[in-house]
Structure 1
Amino acid sequence: MPRRLNAVQLDFVESAPVRLVYSADVGASPSEVYQALADDVEGWPGWFTAVAWAKPTREGAGRDVGLRGGVRFRETIMASDPATRYAYRIDETNLPGVRAMLEEWRLAPAGSGTRVRWTMALDGPGPLRVGMRLAKPGVGYSFRDAVRRLERRLGSAQAG
């Protein structure tokens, strides 16, 4: 991967120049959702269609992720709080223009399931910022589709 990004900390999720925030409910417990996010990294392509492959690295302290279309990320896990929060910083990528990026998944009980909130926080030059804001509806669609697929995956795992 050709480009190293700024090593932001967890507070970047609140202070980033661009923050895309989405939420949806899943009919599974927070611990089940957390397990799919943090423990089953290689299972992400089975429910998040934008992800082509994912694998844990550095004995679980990091991840390497490839998206459909060829974008790749090398990540560091920044927060791994069972059933409540999973966050990772992108350290290296081949995505042009990005200077810093962090993603956070927050989980909270909601009725008989879980409220999932995903925040994509990033920084880059003006054109990237504008482009990401324009992409917000499409990224939101991808998130909602992923959550629906995750819910089906967890439901079939419970039935099995």
Structure 2
Amino acid sequence: MERHLAPAGLEFAETAPVRLVFAREISPSPEAVFHALAHEVPGWAEWFGQVKRARALDGGARREVRLTGGTRFEETILAATSPEVYAYRVDTTNAPLLRALVEEWRLFPSGGGTRVRWTFACDGPLALRAVLKGARPLIGRAFRDAVGELERRLVR
């Protein structure tokens, strides 16, 4: 069943009840990483293991993402400022319990490459908050693996 989430803004990435923040340094430039994030949306399925399919909608103003376990998201792009930030919020999903979800990718020049910082910011009932906080190591591993795979693809 599709559920509509709260229309959170970019500030939610800093104020959400649950904020999981991860970072990793990779060798490609911030411009190359930003291009992969914002302009090669179908490519997410090739480097982010949990993404089964992704596609841009409305000329890139929105996205549709399907995860490997069957979860679906329709998202609105909140920021696409090259090469610093790419962020989106989930508008509708079939995932239970979520009230609001924003993901923010910040890119910083670092030693000839890029420091990628990803913030997963959400709200939901206490049970969901506890599960997500407990899943932090798994979510962090998924991020590190994804960014590592993105790096391999960009340096080919």
Whether TM exceeds 0.5 here: the answer is: yes
Using the alignment, how far apart are the partners of 1:11 and 1:66 within structure 2? 25
Give every structure 1 segment of 4 or more consecutive aligned residues whose post-TM-superposition deviation is greater than 6 Å: none
CA RMSD between the two structures: 0.6
Using the alignment, how far apart are the partners of 1:53 and 1:101 within structure 2? 19
What residue in structure 1 maps to residue 85 of structure 2? 85
1:2 CA displacement: 1.2
Matches within 5 A, 1:8-157: 8-156=8-156
**Which stretches in structure 1 are left out of the alignment for 5+ residues?**
none
Q: Specify the SS of the correspondent of 2:136.
A: helix
- Residue identity in the other structure for 1:146: A
Using the alignment, how far apart are the partners of 1:51 and 1:63 within structure 2? 13
- Residue identity in the other structure for 1:59: G
- Residue identity in the other structure for 2:116: V
TM (norm. structure 1) is 0.96
What residue in structure 2 maps to residue 3 of structure 1? 3
Q: Percent identity?
A: 52
Using the alignment, how far apart are the partners of 1:93 and 1:45 within structure 2? 18
1:59-108 deviation per Cα after TM superposition (whole angstroms, max 9, x unaligned) = 11000000011000000000000110000000000000000000000001
- Residue identity in the other structure for 1:153: R
1:58 CA displacement: 1.1
Using the alignment, how far apart are the partners of 1:13 and 1:31 within structure 2? 22
Using the alignment, how far apart are the partners of 2:147 and 2:78 within structure 1? 22
1:112 CA displacement: 1.1
**Which stretches in structure 2 are left out of the alignment for 5+ residues?**
none
1:33-62 deviation per Cα after TM superposition (whole angstroms, max 9, x unaligned) = 000000000000111011000000011100
Using the alignment, how far apart are the partners of 2:152 and 2:126 within structure 1? 38
Using the alignment, how far apart are the partners of 1:2 and 1:29 within structure 2? 38
Paired residue total: 156
1:140 CA displacement: 0.3
1:32 CA displacement: 0.1
1:139 CA displacement: 0.3
- Residue identity in the other structure for 1:61: A
Using the alignment, how far apart are the partners of 1:10 and 1:68 within structure 2? 26
